[in-house]
């Protein structure tokens, strides 16, 4: 039986309590009590020794078992440290792997972008080549170009890089062939006769030439038209014999368009002045009609202005002096050297100079009014045309823009050819309106100025004539 110090203390307390209780009830004899106390002390002393031995044995056992446990703890701690080092190393390696993966992904993205870029360039090259091919070459190149285009732009997946390489080799081969030049049989439309002729195409650099088989036939540069239509041969003054020698591979002179066909295309698209006017539509025709009417009116007014011939004031002075001093008979002899309108004015005045002053003034005023009505007619119409022509041009601009927006609604903004008709109408009508308005305004100002100047001179001459007749009457009366 193993007893701990706590159990011994509890037992000792119980024994004391029992002794005390027993003493209180029946006090034993002194000898028995001492013996019992001694016996109890001996029992408890033995128990204490036993417990002390057990305690010492436990301490020895603990000391004995503590060293392996401490060693095991140290080994576990060392293992923990090693595992922590391994975890840190794994974390570092994991970070390095993440960096490597990110770098690889960036490289893959860059490679995909490069492949897409190269494939896009190759596709653009195929598109350009397809646009510059003449109808004589399309059948030869169509199948190869279509196959490469499908490989460069697949429905699913990445473009085929080998197709881009093949496209580059194909384009390089064509460039080499164009540098040396090659020929192909075909047909084309003569731009002058609009007839379809047979001949030979000669592809040399960026230019394509056509030489008809017939002697003296069409020979010149070729320009393609809409898809499916035969190209047009534009004569450039190239001698047919030299053109035939060039096609045959012999030395010859050639005519090359340094603008790459832009000048010829511009000349073809511009057309003549009738085509330009037709672009203005109905409003343009109205403006042209007003312009012709203004031109006719201006010609008539120039003729009227020529008839409104008035002498210079210096030439009138002698006639006025003669009227004031010598009278009507002497003055009428001088009228022959005067201009027509001035002569008519003085003829009317001298005819009625013997009448009262008020009557003479009325006759002269009536003559001037008649001349004013005659020479100022149609001048307001020129002013109206000069003011209305720009407004009509603006009206045509609005109509053209409405037409353009309607076409945009139907066809969108991608078809420039459809939109050009409305834009042309908008711009041409404005141009025609200004072309009519500016000259009309200038000639109206010129005619108005000259007419008013001559009429003002007539009024001056009429007043001076009345004054001269009064002076003559006064001198004759005195």
The predicted-structure confidence for 398-434, as pLDDT tens digits, reads as follows: 888 888 777 777 767 666 666 666 677 778 899 999 9
Instruction: Give the DSSP letter string of 226-265.
Output: STTSPPEEEE-S--HHHHHHHHTTS-------TTTTHHHH
**Is the CB of residue 209 less than 8 Å from the CB of residue 221?**
yes
Low-confidence stretches of the chain (pLDDT beneath 70): 1-31, 132-140, 154-159, 176-182, 205-206, 216, 223-229, 236-237, 255-272, 411, 413-422, 477-478
In DSSP terms, 198 is beta-bridged to: 187
pLDDT at 419: 65
Please write the tens of the pLDDT for every residue from 91-133: 999 989 989 998 988 888 888 787 777 777 777 877 777 776 6
Burial class (CB in 10 A: 0-12, 13-18, 19+), 164: buried
For residues 26 and 23, what is the distance between their CA atoms, to the nearest angstrom?
A: 5
Question: What pLDDT is stored for residue 343 in this prediction?
Answer: 92
According to DSSP, the β-strands at 232-235 and 182-190 are parallel
| Buried-exposed string 343-359: b where 16+ CB fall within 10 A, e elsewhere | bbbbebbbebbeeeeee
Farthest CA pair distance, the chain? 209
The structure's pTM equals 0.50
Strands 196-204 and 232-235: unpaired
Residue of 275, 279, 298 lying closest to 431 (CA atoms): 279
Joined tokens for residue 142: 């169509």
């Amino acid at each position: 039986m193993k007893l701990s110090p706590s159990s011994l203390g509890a037992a000792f307390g119980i024994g004391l309590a029992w002794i005390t209780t027993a003493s209180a009830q029946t006090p034993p004899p002194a000898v028995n009590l001492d013996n019992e106390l001694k016996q109890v002390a001996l029992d408890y002393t033995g128990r204490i020794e036993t417990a002390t031995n057990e305690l010492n044995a436990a301490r020895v056992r603990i000391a004995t078992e503590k060293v392996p446990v401490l060693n095991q703890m140290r080994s576990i701690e060392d293992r923990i440290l090693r595992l922590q080092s391994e975890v840190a190393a794994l974390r570092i390696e994991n970070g390095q792997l993440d960096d490597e993966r990110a770098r690889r992904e960036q490289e893959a993205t860059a490679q995909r972008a490069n492949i897409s870029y190269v494939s896009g360039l190759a596709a653009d090259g195929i598109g350009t080549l397809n646009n510059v091919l003449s109808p004589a070459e399309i059948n030869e190149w169509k199948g190869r170009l279509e196959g490469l285009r499908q490989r460069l732009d697949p429905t699913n997946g990445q473009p085929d890089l080998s197709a881009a390489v093949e496209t580059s080799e194909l384009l390089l081969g064509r460039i080499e062939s164009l540098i040396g030049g090659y020929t192909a049989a075909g047909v084309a439309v003569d731009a002058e006769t609009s007839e379809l002729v047979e001949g030979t195409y000669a592809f040399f650099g960026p230019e394509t030439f056509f030489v008809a088989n017939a002697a003296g036939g069409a020979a010149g540069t070729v320009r393609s038209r809409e898809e499916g239509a035969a190209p047009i041969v534009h004569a450039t003054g190239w001698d047919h014999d030299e053109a035939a020698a060039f096609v045959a591979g012999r030395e010859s002179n050639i005519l090359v368009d340094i603008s790459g066909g832009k000048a010829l295309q511009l000349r073809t698209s511009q057309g003549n002045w009738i085509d330009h006017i037709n672009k203005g539509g109905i409003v343009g025709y109205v403006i042209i009609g007003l312009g012709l009417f203004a031109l006719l009116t201006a010609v008539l007014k120039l003729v009227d202005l020529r008839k409104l011939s008035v002498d210079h004031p210096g030439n009138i002075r002698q006639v006025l002096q003669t009227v004031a001093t010598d009278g009507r008979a002497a003055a009428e002899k001088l009228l022959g050297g005067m201009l027509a309108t001035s002569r008519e004015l003085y003829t009317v005045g001298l005819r009625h100079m013997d009448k009262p002053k008020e009557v003479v003034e009325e006759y002269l005023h009536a003559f001037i009014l008649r001349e004013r009505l005659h020479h100022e007619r149609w001048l307001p119409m020129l002013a109206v045309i000069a003011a209305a022509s720009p407004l009509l041009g603006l009206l045509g601009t609005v109509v053209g823009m409405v037409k353009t927006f309607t076409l945009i609604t139907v066809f969108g903004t991608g078809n420039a050819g459809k939109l050009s008709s409305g834009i042309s109408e908008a711009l041409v009508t404005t141009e025609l309106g200004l072309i009519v308005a500016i000259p009309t305004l200038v000639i109206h100002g010129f005619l108005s100025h000259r007419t008013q100047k001559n009429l003002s001179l007539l009024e001056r001459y009429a007043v001076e004539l009345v004054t001269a007749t009064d002076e003559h009457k006064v001198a004759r009366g005195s």
